[in-house]
Amino acid sequence: MVLLEKSLAVVFALLLFATVASGALVRLHPEKEWRELTLRIRTWWIIITLFSLAILSPPWLALTFFALVSFMALKEFLTLIPFRHSDRMPLLWMFIAIPVNYWLVGTGRYAIFMAFIPVYAFLFLPARMVIAGDTRGFLRTAAQLHWSLMTTVFAFSHVGFLLVLPGGGGQSGALLVLFLVGLTEFNDVAQYLWGKSLGRIRVTPRVSPNKTLAGLLGGVGSTALAATLLGPLMTPLEWPLALLAGVIIGVSGFCGDVVMSAIKRDIGVKDSGTLLPGHGGMLDRLDSLIFTAPVFFHFIRYFCY
């Protein structure tokens, strides 16, 4: 059994353990409310199964899956923000940008990929908005459209680009994706557990009151340790760079979480949707990855490719 399959087997074993443990808690303490935990674990089975099938697939099929995730995340984002009747055509062009962006990823056109959304799409969208002649809330609307496209499509698509890095194709690319996504989710869990057990000092009390200094430091430390152990096995990184990658993933994951929390508070919602029972919406699951994906991608590309 090759390393990728072994790694996925470990992930499913951990998920199975969590399922058995949650079932035991329900039987031992039936007086407590365990519904949310049960829903979260059930949804994790679906998420991890689909993700595993994607990274085990040929790159074009995996990129199609990631493009679909971007489509659903962008659609969810746009349902949360108010937009004007005159913005219908710019919204259409935003969805058209998704297959173009992932085609650039699939063909490995790094230079054009880096400019397509942050430069050309960002310039095109307000220019297209001007044609409608509606200046009410123009700046706020342009900023909302830019940010939604930047996060759900451009930033997230760096996950897919890990699959097609020069010399990083095949299972090595899939292992990079698994390393990134696995440590990002591990960081979220570790920060939550450290914060619950030792957290006293709040880091962002007005944005996310549950985020504590102990959670941040404990999560980053735990993620750095995990990266140091797994990096030399799953990536081209030696342990010093793997340690640095873990710190980067931990810090950027925290930033992604609180930034998306600030956006939801500004909009006035707790969760971005109800697509994922127990988790909320697509954006609630992708918030940390939106920041860790581009940061880790450029780190690994600079040092290894």
Percent over 90 (pLDDT), the chain: 65
Residue 276 sits at φ, ψ, to 5 deg, of -110, 100
Residue 166 sits at φ, ψ, to 5 deg, of -55, 125
Per-residue pLDDT at 165: 87
How many alpha carbons fall within 13 Å on the CB side of residue 72? 17
Residue 55 sits at φ, ψ, to 5 deg, of -75, -15
- Residue labelled with tokens 């996310």: 208
Give residue-wise pLDDT tens across range 23-52: 887 787 777 777 777 888 888 899 999 999
- Residue labelled with tokens 């600079």: 302
Give residue-wise pLDDT tens across range 219-256: 999 999 999 999 999 999 999 999 999 999 999 999 99
Per-residue pLDDT at 83: 78
Question: Taking the model in full, what pTM does it have?
Answer: 0.92
- Cβ–Cβ < 8 Å for 162, 179: no
